């Protein structure tokens, strides 16, 4: 496991839309490899403290105004 985000509020995108308070998210090779209420047995290379943060793994923001921001002054 490359990175472990610890003590984060995890809003899952599963069918029950569960929320894990003080949860853990593991990332391996750029992909989510672990989500749980307890720390995984595998030791990560890096630990990121997620205290006070909310993570929504699996959520993709399809609505953005990036293009309009860059073309705002174009006439």
pLDDT score at 61: 72
Q: Which helix (H) or strand (E) holds 32?
A: strand 31-36
For the whole model, what pTM was predicted? 0.76
Give the C-alpha distances (Å, rounded to integers) separating 48 from 16, 26, 62: 26, 10, 26
Dihedral angle, C-alpha 39, 40, 45, 49, nearest 10 °: -20
pLDDT score at 58: 76
Does residue 53 contact residue 10 with C-beta atoms inside 8 Å?
no
The pLDDT-based confidence of 8 (bands split at 50, 70, 90) is very high
């Amino acid at each position: 496991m490359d990175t472990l985000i610890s003590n984060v509020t995890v809003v899952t995108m599963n069918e029950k839309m569960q929320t894990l308070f003080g949860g853990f998210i593991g990332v391996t090779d750029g992909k989510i490899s672990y989500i749980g209420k307890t720390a995984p047995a595998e030791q990560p290379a890096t630990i990121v403290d997620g205290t006070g943060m909310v993570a929504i793994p699996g959520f993709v923001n399809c609505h953005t105004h990036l293009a309009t921001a860059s073309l705002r002054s174009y006439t």
